[in-house]
Amino acid sequence: AKQHGKNTYRFFCPDAALASLKQLELRDDLHRAIYQKQLRLVYQPQVDARSGRLAGCEALVRWKHPEKGWIPPNVFIPIAEQAGLIVPLGRWVMLEACRQITLWQSMGYEVPRVSVNVSFVQLLREDLHQVLLSCLAANQLGPDRISVEVTESCIMQGVDAIDQLKRIQKSGIRVALDDFGTGYSSLSALKGLPIDELKIDRSFISEIAEGDDARAIVAAIIAMAQRLGVEVVAEGVENEVELNYLRERGADIIQGYFFGRPVPGSEFTGWLADTASH
Ligand code: C2E
Ligand code: CA
Ligand code: CA
Ligand code: CA
């Protein structure tokens, strides 16, 4: 196929063509999914590294496609971002998380805090601060009940995005920097940014058992975060070797399969029993 030259080459690339066709199909389906209740949230526990008590949870979105079954967020979130659908999807996520907190409260359970993921597109296309406040207000919740997780791509959108994050933080909603270590910003770049919490990316955690390089990186991130007064969450913690190292180094919060996988809100009550206010 390659001999036919540059212009025709793409016609002989069935994988890419098929992939873009599938994307188009999914985009239409996703539009329907948002308005036809095919989305779900699942919740993964975040555990205090020292006390072992529940510190909060992260809300993660799931899509059950009527024909294709469960589609992972790594597939549909990028599509939603490209198609502008992340704004309504993100609103649904924020509102649903607040509803779930209220539902747990009405059952007598107190959840310390729920983290929601937000895309840089949401920061650019809408007044995220106002959307968050109205979701909280609609459920009569205080700002300390939720936090938002942003990636470096959010911070690299410029001053408007950072101002937006500052407003969010100022109103009492925590801001967490997700997937830390995978992007380009250095630890020192964190200074002055509106960040309460830093989440060390899973790729570093999963190498803790293997060698000194990953250990050194993890130790440096924790030490610097402590100096900056930022809490450290380790994500993707799967075993005791990782857990013990993180504890030894002073990580604040542990998240990962070792403690628990993400589960629907109805199942998460098992985690909430400890802190039940009844
Ligand atoms: P993330 O924000 O980094 O979320 C953590 C991912 O790691 C989740 O995958 C979680 O299930 C998985 N995970 C947690 N503990 C472990 C572990 O111990 N081992 C392993 N191997 N994996 C673990 P998930 O739910 O498939 O989400 C993937 C990504 O999709 C998220 O990465 C986030 O970037 C995005 N996402 C999920 N929900 C939302 C949402 O509501 N809005 C936005 N904008 N993005 C979302
Ligand atoms: Ca996250
Ligand atoms: Ca992450
Ligand atoms: Ca991620």
Q: pLDDT tens digits for 180-215?
A: 988 766 777 788 889 999 999 999 999 999 888 899
**Beta strand 231-234 with 174-180: parallel, antiparallel or unpaired?**
unpaired
Is any atom of ligand 1 closer than 6 Å to the C-beta of 93?
A: yes
Nearest ligand, CA of residue 201?
A: 3
Q: pLDDT value at position 156? A: 82
Give the residue ranges of the chain where pLDDT is below 50: 1-5, 8-9, 276-278
The answer to whether the CB of 74 is under 6 A from ligand 1 is: yes
Residue among 113, 108, 103 at smallest CA distance from 144: 113
Sign of the alpha-carbon dihedral angle for 74, 258, 198, 267: positive
Radius of gyration of the chain (CA): 20
* Ligand number, closest to the Cα atom of 60: 1
Q: Which residues surround ligand 2, an ion (CB under 5 A)?
A: 117, 149, 178
- What does DSSP assign to residue 275? G
From 47, 64, 77, 205, give the residue whose CB has the most ligand 1 atoms within 8 Å, as the site to mutate.
Answer: 77
Q: Give me ligand 1 centre to Cα 60, in Å.
A: 6
Indicate whether residue 256 lines ligand 1 (CB < 6 A).
Answer: yes
- Cα(236) to ligand 1 centroid in Å equals 9
Q: Which atom of ligand 1 is nearest to the CA of 80?
A: 44
Q: Tell me, using a 6 A CB cutoff, whether residue 257 lines ligand 1.
A: yes
pTM over 0.95: no
Separation of CA 7 and ligand 2 centre (Å): 41
* Residue nearest (by alpha carbon) to ligand 1 atom 3: 179
Calpha distance 263→75 (Å, rounded): 20
pLDDT at 211: 84
Judge whether 145 and 114 are in contact, CB under 8 Å: yes
What is the CB neighbour count within 10 angstroms for residue 220?
13
3 state DSSP class of 106: helix
Q: Is the CB of 201 under 6 A from ligand 1?
A: no
Q: Establish whether this prediction's ipTM goes over 0.90.
A: yes
Whole-number pLDDT of residue 270? 93
Query: Among residues 265, 263, 233, 254, which one has the least CA distance to residue 109?
Result: 265
